[in-house]
């Protein structure tokens, strides 16, 4: 990451290893060059599910094994059912942790606006009060 407003850092070669943003997530294309994920739901929830619970491939594998057993009127593989049940519990917990109510999200956004752009915050409040009367 550059500290320069233009994005160009002429002293990049003099930076020590680990002197910048070292806790960022690595999503380099060479790890999975053909994978493009278009999340249908909340991207924050979807990202946590695939990184903390199980990949979509694993989840589909469990479901396929269960559905095929049911279709063939065979016993459902207990290990697959256990994996699916555990995943559902973890996903539900992630959803509860991640989803904010609309009011909570608005409050957080307003707090950030007040902190980072106090003039814009004051203008917004004035406009909202004038619109309410």
Rg (CA), the chain: 23
Instruction: Report residue 77 as tokens.
Output: 């593989």
Instruction: Report residue 116 as tokens.
Output: 């980072």
- Residue boundaries of the structural domains of the chain: 41-132
- Which pLDDT tens digits describe the chain residue by residue (133 residues)? 545 555 666 666 666 655 555 555 555 555 554 455 555 677 878 888 999 999 999 999 999 999 999 999 999 999 999 999 999 999 999 888 877 766 788 899 999 999 999 999 999 999 999 987 6
Give the span between the Cα atoms of 68 and 81, in whole angstroms. 13
- Full-model pTM: 0.51
51 secondary structure, DSSP code: I
């Amino acid at each position: 990451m550059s500290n320069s407003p233009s994005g160009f850092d002429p002293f990049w070669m003099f930076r020590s290893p680990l002197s910048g943003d070292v806790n960022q997530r690595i999503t380099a294309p060479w790890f999975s060059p053909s994978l493009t994920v278009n999340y249908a739901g909340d991207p924050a929830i979807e990202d946590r599910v695939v990184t903390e619970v199980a990949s979509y491939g694993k989840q589909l594998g469990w479901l396929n094994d269960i559905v095929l057993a049911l279709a063939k009127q065979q016993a459902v593989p207990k290990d697959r059912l256990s994996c699916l049940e555990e995943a559902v519990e973890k996903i539900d917990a992630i959803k509860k942790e991640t989803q904010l109510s609309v009011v909570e999200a608005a409050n957080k956004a307003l707090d950030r606006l007040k902190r980072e752009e106090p003039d814009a915050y004051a203008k917004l409040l004035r406009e909202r009060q004038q619109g309410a009367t």
